[in-house]
Amino acid sequence: MAKVLVTGATGFVGSALVPALAAAGHRVVRAVRTDPAPGDLTVPDLCKWSPSSRELAGLDCIVHLAARTHVMDESVADSLARYRALNVEATLKLARAAVDCGVRRFVFMSSVKVNGERTFERPFTEQDAPRPEDAYGISKWEAEQALREAAAGSRMDVAVLRPPLIYGPGVKGNFLRLLRAVARGMPLPLASVRNRRSLLYLGNLVDTIVSCIDHPAAAGKTYLVADGADVSTPGLIRAIAGALSKPARLVPFPPPLLKAAAALLGKTETAARLIGSLQVDASCIRRELGWRPRCSLAQGLGQTAEWYYRQRAAEPRS
């Protein structure tokens, strides 16, 4: 079994990945900011970290999850340098150190935003030319290219994963806000939306990462990965409502008016995600790695709903 370093080990994906790797028999080293357990690496700031040969000694694989994540409605001009500092420069520094220390594989968590923000007539594939539009997507694409260059001619190979929206226990951001809105019975003016979006359940992503650690076919590859059951926004809301045992309070409203209202409120990007389509074709990773999603949308939403009710019950009463 492999000795695996996981950055971002205490985050949304990392917290689920670390126990899965241990259950698969791998030796896991977590890179954490604070409160290290025995065997962990304490890295308060990845941007300032210069990995030493002692810290990376004996590693077979690095799973690099740590990143400056997407911030809604943030302009490229104001934020690209900040995204590059962690997502590109710190990633490249770690990769170069990994090459020097003989690490065999570097698994990089990228994003479907490298491909673009929306699809129209067909899903994205790995063969499509990258067209990132925001600072986050640009930094992820630059990091992918930098990793390939750093690994060229070495014994280390790179495997890149580009997921769409990830959901599951511990989810934050817009998906958590949508869970709360449905749980509270808020009317949502999205019944008239006709779109298709790909999703990825956290447990299915974890299975993918575990496969990429030692599967020979993953060497040097970039994979789009998704559950495979694309859903419309109103369809997702109905599915969430069913998982929460709540009614779906969907109200008809013309999508062009939704876009106009969102623009007035400074929520253009949020509206684009709710109204537009973003589909990915994950057939390549299924074919080459034999990967299949373990959980369906209904199962994944069911586990997410259970987590939501548990964490809500644990909140202090005011």
Among 136, 167, 201, 308, the active-site one is 136
Q: How far apart are CA 305 and CA 204, in angstroms?
A: 17
Which residues on adjacent β-strands are paired with residue 197?
231, 278
28: DSSP letter: E
Question: Given the structure tokens 């740590």, which residue do they identify?
Answer: 66
Q: Do 307 and 169 contact (CB within 8 A), yes or no?
A: yes
Q: Do 62 and 106 contact (CB within 8 A), yes or no?
A: yes
Q: What angle do CA 7, 157, 46 make, to 5 degrees?
A: 25
Q: How far apart are CA 103 and CA 4, in angstroms?
A: 10
Q: How far apart are CA 147 and CA 151, in angstroms?
A: 6
Q: How far apart are CA 93 and CA 8, in angstroms?
A: 16
Kind and range of the H or E run holding 189: none
Q: Is 308 a catalytic residue?
A: no
Q: How far apart are CA 40 and CA 34, in angstroms?
A: 10
Q: If phi over 0 gives left and psi between -120 and 50 gives alpha, with beta otherwise, what is residue 63?
A: beta
- Would you name the residues annotated as active-site residues? 136
